[in-house]
Structure 1
Amino acid sequence: MSSTQPSPVKAVVAPKAATKPYPFWLGGVAASIAGACTHPLDLTKVRLQTTGDKGMINSIRKTVASNGVRGLFDGLTGTLLRQMTYSTMRFAVYDKAKAAVHTEAGPPPAWKMALAGSIAGGIAGLIGNPAELMMVRMQADKAKPQRGSQSVRSMLKPLPERYNYRNSIQGLYRMTKEEGFSSWGRGIVPNGARAVLMNMSQLASYDWLKQELIHMKVLEDGPVLHFVASLGAGTVATTVCSPADVLKSRIMNAHGPGSTSTMAVIRTSLANEGPMFMFKGWLPAWTRLQPTTILIFLTLEQLKKGVDRYRASGGTML
């Protein structure tokens, strides 16, 4: 007499649902908030790079004495336009590029993060160049002397004219009308190089430091970890980007067709100041980039957590 044994029922394992990506514009929003908070430091850095001002504190005092405390926020619309174009694009492309270059299991190695950051920086630097131009010009504008205010010494050479843009949108319109569409590409080589270096060093080092600190069980994922990782990322990025940043600011702020090429600026700066001109403004650049980097990543992480909470509560719009 035979008995038939029921075959065991195999458990059906549902495939793991793909994680829904975060909105692409979160990085731009986080960068805009950080940029607005640290704008006076960025303005001071640009003025140190493009004028004869000596020392960060002295430059800040000069700005306040000439234009009041409100003068520390000259060119804010240029900063916001730049963050919502350049920064939105770099964060969005970085996540896509990282997923494309690393398809294996586990976290990506540092070189793949750097490669993804370089790709993101190159694309974002190209798209955000016109907004970068506006930001630099508007920040440097009021540091230039007015016509008729030159001293006997300064009468030996022509004074640079102020652009006097009302805001970044009007500035783009005027620049296009007065200088042609080709002006949108002014400084694109050093700006593109800086964007590649910035994202390769800032985004990749933040991700790598965060990953390593968690792996070594030094810190748990949270605000303290985000702060420490962004502190390291800001220092690395400032040092790596300083030469391209100085060249970008000087080229974008230059007048005249013969004075705006990269090689012309390098030759003139080397002759007048020596090779260390490439690190001029490093302290205000670090002082500005450090809180900016910290604010960007802390804000971005909180925005992501906010999106997670919204989705967990049943929200479907994000």
Structure 2
Amino acid sequence: MGMNKKKISKWYDGGIAGSIAVCFTHPLDLIKVHLQTQESVATGASNMAISIVKTQGSRALYNGLTASIARQLSYTTTRFGVFEALKKRIQKSPDEPISFTQKMLLGAAGGTIGGIVGNPPDLINVRMQNDVKLPVDQRRNYKNFFDGMKRITAEEGALTLFNGVSMTIMRSVLMTVAQAAVYYQSKENLIGTGYFKDNLITHFTASFISGTVATAATQPFDVLKTRLQNAEHGQYKNFLDCAVKTAKLGPKAFYKGYIPAWTRIGPHTILLFVFIEQIQKINYYVYTKS
């Protein structure tokens, strides 16, 4: 009688993998934020990147990285942690498959909680990334994530850290469903064809599908969330007011930064799941009798 080894997941795998992945994709996220908050529609992604480097230097592409990593450690850890914890509760055994509907519900639950937990670092991340676009006398100049938390709490009140939280939750639900549910379902379907194995090619293919779905589903909410979080006090009355004013710029305004958003979410999703799979492969195995 032999022994089989099977990968098991830990609640913190997503946060670790996300933190590593964002170090590669942060410049793309920064460009996306700049495009979403501009009032004109003339500047493209490549021109925006060139402008940032010319005016601020190449290091400006990593403005807000500490907040971005903090966001992954809170937001991604929570949404994937909740997903995995609930998944284990409804499974009778680690090998028992769950339906796509169940995966979507788990993703929605994880996304809801993750959106709340991750809103403060997300807000600080957006502000730090967009700071270089403001006039010098209006820049916030947060030194890092912790300085941003301290100053926002002292200067604007702690509740300001949750500006745009409704949008963050909506986006987080869509993102988690599109990423986690679509990834694991795609992986199961690919392996089920008999042409794919549980290897890097399958992980890449499933995560590519997941990232593409995630971008299409979340982009309008991401634009509104970014505008709400970066707004001056009183600029928007509420989410609906923000949506109406954005709509006046034309339908394309809801998809500002779509290409860099896809370019960011796609690679980030691929790296996220590849790293999750590798972390589990290296560290987490349970041995069972065959």
TM-score w.r.t. the length of structure 1 is 0.84
Give the letter aligned to residue 123 of structure 1.
I
Percentage identity across paired residues of the two chains: 38
CA distance in 1, matches of 2:87, 2:178: 14
Q: What secondary structure does 2:167 align onto?
A: helix
**1:145 Cα deviation from its structure 2 partner:** 3.0
**1:21 Cα deviation from its structure 2 partner:** 5.2
Structure of greater relative contact order (alpha carbons < 8 Å, 6+ residues apart): 2
Q: Are 1:22 and 2:12 matched, yes or no?
A: no
CA distance in 2, matches of 1:262, 1:238: 21
CA distance in 1, matches of 2:127, 2:175: 21
Offset from partner CA, 1:66-105 (integer Å, 9 cap, x none):
1111111111111011011001111111111223455598
1:127-146 aligned at under 5 Å gives the runs 127-146=117-136
The answer to whether the Cα contact below 8 Å between 1:44 and 1:59 also exists between their aligned partners in 2 is yes
Offset from partner CA, 1:25-60 (integer Å, 9 cap, x none):
221111001001111000000110012461110010
CA distance in 1, matches of 2:92, 2:120: 34
Q: Quote the residue 2:234 is aligned against.
A: 257
Larger radius of gyration: 1
Q: Are 1:303 and 2:279 matched, yes or no?
A: yes
The answer to whether the Cα contact below 8 Å between 2:8 and 2:280 also exists between their aligned partners in 1 is no
CA distance in 1, matches of 2:227, 2:136: 19
Q: Are 1:277 and 2:277 matched, yes or no?
A: no
**1:269 Cα deviation from its structure 2 partner:** 1.0
The answer to whether the Cα contact below 8 Å between 1:75 and 1:138 also exists between their aligned partners in 2 is yes
**1:260 Cα deviation from its structure 2 partner:** 5.4
The one of 70, 79, 83 aligned to 2:68? 79
Q: Quote the residue 1:31 is aligned against.
A: 18
1:113-124 aligned at under 5 Å gives the runs 113-124=103-114
The one of 101, 124, 133 aligned to 1:111? 101
Q: Are 1:288 and 2:264 matched, yes or no?
A: yes
The answer to whether the Cα contact below 8 Å between 1:136 and 1:252 also exists between their aligned partners in 2 is yes
The answer to whether the Cα contact below 8 Å between 1:46 and 1:140 also exists between their aligned partners in 2 is yes
Q: Are 1:174 and 2:151 matched, yes or no?
A: yes
**1:235 Cα deviation from its structure 2 partner:** 0.2
Give the letter aligned to residue 287 of structure 1.
T
The answer to whether the Cα contact below 8 Å between 1:252 and 1:260 also exists between their aligned partners in 2 is no
**1:242 Cα deviation from its structure 2 partner:** 0.5
Change (3 A) 1:118 1:103: farther
Query: RMSD in angstroms over aligned alpha carbons?
Result: 2.2
The answer to whether the Cα contact below 8 Å between 1:254 and 1:260 also exists between their aligned partners in 2 is no
Q: What secondary structure does 1:259 align onto?
A: coil
The answer to whether the Cα contact below 8 Å between 1:101 and 1:112 also exists between their aligned partners in 2 is no
CA distance in 2, matches of 1:282, 1:258: 24
Give the letter aligned to residue 28 of structure 1.
G
Offset from partner CA, 1:191-244 (integer Å, 9 cap, x none):
110000100111110000000001111211100000000000000000000111
The answer to whether the Cα contact below 8 Å between 1:251 and 1:260 also exists between their aligned partners in 2 is no
CA distance in 2, matches of 1:308, 1:258: 49
The answer to whether the Cα contact below 8 Å between 2:115 and 2:169 also exists between their aligned partners in 1 is yes
CA distance in 2, matches of 1:145, 1:288: 27
The answer to whether the Cα contact below 8 Å between 2:9 and 2:84 also exists between their aligned partners in 1 is no
**1:280 Cα deviation from its structure 2 partner:** 1.4
Offset from partner CA, 1:251-304 (integer Å, 9 cap, x none):
000002242521121111111x12232111111000011111111111111110
**1:140 Cα deviation from its structure 2 partner:** 0.9
The one of 33, 37, 56 aligned to 1:46? 33
The answer to whether the Cα contact below 8 Å between 2:220 and 2:255 also exists between their aligned partners in 1 is yes
Gap regions ≥5 residues in structure 1: 1-15, 148-160, 313-318
Q: Are 1:197 and 2:197 matched, yes or no?
A: no
TM-score w.r.t. the length of structure 2 is 0.92
Change (3 A) 1:107 1:292: same
The one of 239, 245, 264 aligned to 1:268? 245
